[in-house]
Amino acid sequence: MTVIEWCGDSVRLIDQSKLPSEESYIQTGDYRVLVDAIRSLKVRGAPLIGIAAAYGVALAAAKFDGEEYYSFRDHCATAIRELASTRPTAVNLFWSLERMRNVLERGTTIESVRKALVSEALRIHHEDREMCRRIGEYGASLVPQRSTILTHCNTGALATGGDGTAQSIITTAHKMGKTVNVFADETRPLLQGARLTAWELMKAGLDVTLITDSMAASLMKQKRIDLVVVGADRIASNGDVANKIGTYNIAVIARHHGVPFYVAAPSSTIDITIASGDQIPIEERSAQEVTEGFGRRTAPVGVRVYSPAFDVTPASLVTAIVSERGVHTPPYDFKKTISDHD
């Protein structure tokens, strides 16, 4: 399964809104189609959103019909703004677009910039693939020889440019010969855990059991969960973690029951420009995703709906954060950590 790929003058990506019942692809040479795909969750997952956005800028440059360089730059800048407007929480989107903007601003000719933008987008994709591999290797060391893992939302190949973040830890541990069983939260309201994570883990040959989001506490009370592994859409300098709505609930429950709570994400998800999770913008989704999920109304007409896509888990509830740079433990100071590494 190829989740996303550059095809020379177009981008081909799997339409995640149709999984698991239909494995179909979108192929387009129009960056605006990618804008819609990101906004409508046909492509989702913080790292993959960043990759798709980078390819979108490359498409915008490739399809510019003109010869005046400053008009070309304005056209590409417009594409960057439109792509940036799609999802406010996933910092990988802005990290990726900033890299593409830097390439654009350094250029001098249309043709040279076109080539440089494609190269940079491909580099972003390759880097994420490598980061996923290393996250899996570092994180697998945290998984006991026999363990049952709870995960939330989707953090596999469908969310990244490689084998995933939290899911890479799970699959890497499995490949190492560890006996790994997984409970996957369905992840309301759009069921990424049910539609995507369960599907991916089954294809990978893992023992996976699907549960509703409200079952985690009961399982932990029964001592049936050994550790929790989740992803992230943005991590603040102090280690506060924004992830799919419902993650905070799990962290609180895990702390109460003494279950380790691990977060896995590439360093591109760490936002050292913000001090804490209080500064992370939280995307609010359409009420219809709650009242008419998948085309069937399940709530009274006219009822008010509050539908944040993410919540913020305080760093105090996070046992460790796994990036491609290693396993980070409290106290978290990513502004210093990343500065020292660079």
Sheet arrangement for strand 326-328? 207-211, 179-185, 146-151, 227-230, 261-264, 320-323, 326-328
Q: Which residues make Cβ contacts (< 8 Å) with residue 70, sequence separation at least 6?
A: none
State whether the Cα torsion 247-248-249-254 is positive or negative: positive
Closest CA to 50 of 7, 79, 84: 84
311 is catalytic: no
Helix (H) or strand (E) holding 65, with range, is: none
d(CA 165, CA 234): 13
Closest CA to 243 of 293, 294, 287, 282: 282
Q: 139: helix, coil or strand? A: helix
Contact by Cβ (8 Å): 208, 182? yes
Q: 204: helix, coil or strand? A: coil
Burial 29-55 (b: 16+ CB within 10 A, else e): eebebbbebbeebbbbbbbbbbbbbbb
Q: Which residues make Cβ contacts (< 8 Å) with residue 307, sequence separation at least 6?
A: 189, 284, 285, 286, 287, 289, 290
Residue of 128, 163, 185, 233 marked catalytic: 233
Structure-token match 């993410």, residue found = 310
Contact by Cβ (8 Å): 89, 153? no
Active site residues: 233
